[in-house]
């Protein structure tokens, strides 16, 4: 039976998943799911789900975040800012920005607050963390699209960003689309963006697609792990980024 893989990216309205057969990126298609749990319930069920969202939260935040964040950032050169430092679990669990900053100050060495940009994705981190278990992590794996594009681009950081001042950067999006099409993804996947920008942007679709490319590498046992021997958080979840 053909193994179905999924690359997933969080978006404004929920989650974008690009599904494909393990053997063929040409089969790729995109779906929108309001909740991450909906992706787990797809039929046929994806055997590997590579998602751009932190899995495994440290009890205390360190400089640069988790070891996974530090190592992934190190290989990206001038694109290193694409990987944010994951703060302590106590901060992520707070639903108010001031409370999150206070919790981060208490649970980080040296003490520091969280950025508003990082705080804005806390709801999705919590959504995923709520359902994650060490057993489920054999199927649901953390990845990062910029690290995946680095791997797809012959272990070379991309020279163009996908966004400039929080707006889509067409040359950077075109570069990423070109790399995916060169890897066998159908041009039709990217030609007609089916969702309003209030739900998902074109960068979300590209990120989900390259995450599905990482899912194929994970399924084949070819993915690189950052770090190679990942530590586990207090819930037993591996803190790693795969690409």
pLDDT at 167: 84
Which of helix, strand or coil describes residue 10?
A: strand
Q: pLDDT tens digits, residue range 134-179? A: 999 999 999 999 999 999 999 999 999 998 887 889 999 999 999 9
User: What sign results for the dihedral spanned by CA atoms 36, 228, 223, 61?
Assistant: positive
Share of the chain above pLDDT 90, in %: 93
pLDDT tens for 176-214 read: 999 999 999 999 999 988 899 889 999 999 999 999 999
Is residue 129 predicted with pLDDT exceeding 80? yes
Q: Report the distance separating Cα 40 and Cα 48, nearest Å.
A: 10
- Token digits of residue 81: 């800012």
- The CATH number of domain 4-54+139-219, selected from 3.30.70, 3.30.420, 2.60.40, 2.40.370: 3.30.420
Q: Where are the domains of the chain?
A: 4-54+139-219, 61-138
Please state the rounded mean pLDDT for residues 102-130. 97
**Closest of 153, 143, 141, 8 to residue 77, by C-alpha:** 153
Closest CA to 145 of 219, 212, 202: 212
pTM, full prediction: 0.95
pLDDT of residue 3: 87
């Amino acid at each position: 039976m053909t193994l179905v893989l999924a690359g997933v990216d969080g978006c404004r309205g929920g989650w974008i998943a690009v599904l494909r057969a393990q053997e063929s990126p040409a089969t790729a298609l995109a779906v929108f799911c309001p909740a991450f749990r909906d992706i787990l319930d797809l039929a046929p069920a994806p055997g590997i789900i590579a998602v751009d969202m932190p899995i495994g939260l440290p009890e205390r935040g360190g400089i640069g975040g988790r070891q996974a964040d530090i190592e992934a950032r190190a290989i990206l050169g001038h694109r290193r800012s694409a990987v944010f430092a994951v703060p302590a679990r106590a901060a992520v669990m707070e639903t108010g920005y001031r409370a999150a900053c206070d919790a981060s100050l208490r649970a980080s060495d040296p003490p520091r607050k969280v950025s508003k940009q990082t705080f804005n994705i806390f709801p999705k981190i919590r959504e995923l963390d709520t359902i994650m278990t060490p057993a489920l992590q054999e199927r649901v794996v953390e990845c990062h699209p910029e690290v995946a594009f680095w791997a797809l681009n012959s272990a070379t950081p991309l020279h163009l960003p996908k966004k400039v001042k929080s707006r889509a950067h067409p040359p950077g999006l075109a570069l990423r689309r070109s790399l995916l099409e060169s890897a066998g993804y159908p041009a039709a996947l990217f030609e007609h963006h089916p969702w309003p920008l209030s739900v998902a942007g074109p960068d979300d679709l590209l990120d989900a697609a390259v995450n599905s490319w990482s899912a194929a590498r994970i399924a084949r046992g070819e993915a690189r792990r950052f770090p190679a021997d990942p530590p586990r958080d207090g819930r037993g979840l591996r803190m790693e980024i795969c690409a």
